[in-house]
Structure 1
Amino acid sequence: MHRIDDEQRRVRLGRRHLLAPSTRATSAVAVADAVVALHATDAATVFLSVCARLADPGAEAVERALYEDVSLVRLLSMRNTLFTVSAEAAPAVDASSARPVAVKERRRLLKHLREDGQGLDERWLADTEDQTLAALKARGNATGSELSAAVPALRTKITLFSGTKQETVQGTATRVIRVLAADGRIRRDRPRGSWTSSQFRWTAAEPWPPSDPAEARAEVARRWLLSYGPATEGDLKWWTGWGVRETRTALAAVGAEEVQLDSGAVGWVAPGDLATEASPEPWAALLPGLDPSAMGWADRGFHLSTDHRAALFDRAGNIGPTVWWNGRIAGGWAMRPDGEPVWRLLSDVGREASQRIEAEAGRLSAWVGDARVTPRFRTPLERELTA
């Protein structure tokens, strides 16, 4: 069996994730395709992940792709998580992952409506969705609060988990909007405030045309292998949230080839993707929390020391901002209230690495400008650095 060692995996990461300076992209779409999907739970992550990989970084390029060209789109998809993908990749991601999520979201909402006991049912939900879409089309775009003001049904309150310690009363607006977004009938438009804000306006959208889920899973697996391979079956299963059978069927459909990894595990690569790649120039990167390069594998042993996990992850398993040196996570960083990036190295990487990290911090400060970034999921090291 062909062997691909950990050093070659780190070389591939630097090249294919556009982190080495000579590989940086000229467009936000090229970055999204290079990593398949950008984590978008935290609005700032998309901008920070893209700009770390752009030759000429700037928030304007990302905003243009998201809100003017709509060449980048957000989908509630893999692992029931919000991702940003290119419009070209969106149909495959939608059919393979977003559609099942949308079905579950609608089923869950209808269950809560029935259990509330007010007689709210599928007809009520359909009527409320129609009224919400009509109000949105009349306005062009609107926040959730503005839609609630325009559509009385969205102000309906329901009781969740009645009779339990978790009993709570919630409005239906957020849940109805979430279902409409999951179905692709509305999408996030420009937020209120800067690019770091998660207070989005909403605008009407057209769902992606339906396609065969098995073919879509094969296409997603092919893209993922080209970006993250070699990787294990478990890595792909974790990243996508698919079941074992779906994962194995997708690997077989795409013609994935087996390789041996340094860990002793069997890895997979895209067909014919066995050639050894030359190391790029030395590189450093400051990547945000939940960046794809840190979240692309279930087993991160080839680029992350187990000794670093306690400092860099929160209790839910979300990784915070990371400092990279030549394909390894070497530490973490944060932004102080005055905008200064600060970092701490958890590995001894030498003088050259420190100089290049300093240069990356300067590059980050230059394009971020007056914006301030605080990760939604805060980790022990990030909190220490901003204290």
Structure 2
Amino acid sequence: MKGPPPVAEWRLQQQGISAPLGDDPAATVRHLLAVQAQDYYGSLWAVGLRTAGAREADVERAIAERRIVRTWPMRGTLHLVAPEDTRWMLTLMASRAIARDRARQERDFGLDARTTGRCAEVITRLLEGDGRMTRGALYEALAERGIDTEGQRGLHILGRLAHEGVICQGPREGKQPTFVLLDEWIPRTAPLDRDEALAELGRRYFAGHGPATMQDLAWWSGLTVRDAQTALEGAKPALSHHDHDGARYWFIASAEGAAPVAPAVHLLPPFDEYLVGYKDRSAMLDAAHNRQVVGINGLVSPSLIVDGRVGALWKRTLGRQGATLALTPLRPLRKADRPALARAAKRYGEFIGQPVALDAG
């Protein structure tokens, strides 16, 4: 009996990198449950990479049409999520970020419950009626009403209200994100109790990121190991597992025995789920290159994947004639990989709507 493919190769397939998940950007996001998105254009490409024929404008249109929501559901970090997943994820996971930051916000910024409640009331009045405002416009409006937003205080106000489910981000105005009222932006959904939410988290994480371990789930969600164990237990009826090198890897049962795919080259954006989605990245990243790919500040660099592993970093420069992608190899690129690299660059150029030139270093 043929065994399962290597972990990295399997993840490439399950995440929709080696073969697209479909042709709908919103369905791609739903499959992954959440796509890290503090780098806006990188998150668009993360979705486009996994969606057949998608262009940058297609992903932005799905955000503007409210089929994808950009908000802070976990780890205090911006993500793209499906509308129907937004509220239960905020309730389950964003509360940890609120609890973590509450004492510091009260001490350093005077954001106690009464003050944040007033901020919520003011911003609700400003945005109600399907309104949308940029961060700068909100800061000006808050200041006019006697609410200080200087320094980092404004960011903490908006972040707190996003975590509490008052606001989320809407479509961009030029290059600036706007903020909208969550309850006006997307339909209300029936709440899940905590055990139901944990089980849903487990099922969806392992469906979109498997094969992965329980520790990977805890890292990705920002929940405690105990909560991750509960999520795994609730999801087990839908899961299978594979033991490898002393670790137990879980995946959605329907993916068992997935056929290996041909090795290829892939251009991943910064903070891509292929790297961010796991506590243990050893299947995809050599230990010697870890600090070059994942900075001490948590920045995950744009990466070139060769045979499932990070082989180079890349940086985009836009010019009048198109885009240049400059590679910084972490190991020598093989001559045999050049055609696949050219195809990956061409696909990226199609996505952004510009010709792409490669500078392979």
* TM-score (norm. length: structure 1): 0.80
Equivalent residue runs for 1:327-342 within 5 Å: 327-338=308-319, 339-342=323-326
State the number of aligned residues: 350
1:98 to 94, 98, 103: 94
Residue in structure 1 matching 2:181, options 194, 204, 224: 204
- For 1:313, give the aligned amino acid: V
Q: Secondary structure at the match of 1:94?
A: helix
Instruction: Give the ranges of 4+ consecutive aligned residues of structure 1 lying more than 6 Å apart after TM superposition.
Output: 2-5
Does residue 268 (structure 1) correspond to residue 250 (structure 2)? The answer is yes
CA offset digits 1:17-42 (Å, max 9, x no partner): 11124x35201112213322111111
Deviations 1:178-214 (A, max 9, x none): 2222222222122232xxx4x3111222176532122
CA contact (8 A) 1:78 1:240 kept: yes
- Give the conservation status (yes or no) of the 8 Å contact 2:62–2:68: yes
Matches within 5 A, 1:147-296: 147-152=138-143, 156-157=147-148, 170=151, 172-193=153-174, 197=175, 199-206=176-183, 209-255=190-236, 256-261=239-244, 263-270=245-252, 272=253, 275-296=256-277
Asked whether the equivalents of residues 333 and 342 of structure 1 are also in contact (C-alpha less than 8 Å), the reply is: yes
- Amino acid aligned to 1:67: A
* 1:345-364 Cα distance to aligned partner (Å, 9 max, x none): 33345333221111211221
Give the aligned partner of residue 132 of structure 2: 141
Matches of 1:132 and 1:216, distance apart in 2: 29
The alignment status of 1:73 with 2:94, answered yes or no, reads no
Aligned equivalents of 1:14, 1:43: Cα separation in 2: 22
Kept in 2, the 8 Å contact 1:28–1:54? The answer is: yes
Could you say if the C-alpha distance between residues 154 and 202 of structure 1 is closer, same or farther in structure 2, counting changes exceeding 3 Å? Answer: farther
Unaligned residue ranges in structure 2 (runs of 5+): none
* TM-score with structure 2 setting the length: 0.85
Identity %: 23
Contact residue 14 and residue 210 of structure 2 kept, 8 A = no
Q: Return the alpha-carbon distance in structure 1 between the equivalents of residues 289 and 36 of structure 2.
A: 22
Give yes or no for the alignment of 1:53 onto 2:50.
yes
SS in 2 for 1:187: strand
Aligned equivalent of 1:306: 287
State the alpha-carbon separation in 2 of the partners of residues 4 and 95 from structure 1. Answer: 39
Q: Which has the higher strand share?
A: 2
Give the distance between the partners of 1:19 and 1:98, measured in 2 at CA.
28
Q: Distance between the aligned counterparts of 2:317 and 2:164, measured in 1? A: 39
How big is the alpha-carbon RMSD for the aligned residues of Structure 1 and Structure 2?
Answer: 3.1
Asked if the contact 2:69/2:170 (under 8 Å) is kept, the reply is no
Structure 1's unaligned 5+ residue stretches are: 115-119, 159-168, 373-384
Q: Alpha-carbon deviations, 1:267-304, whole Å to 9, x = none?
A: 3334x457322122343210111000111111111121
**Equivalents in 2 of 1:26, 1:219: separation in Å?**
24
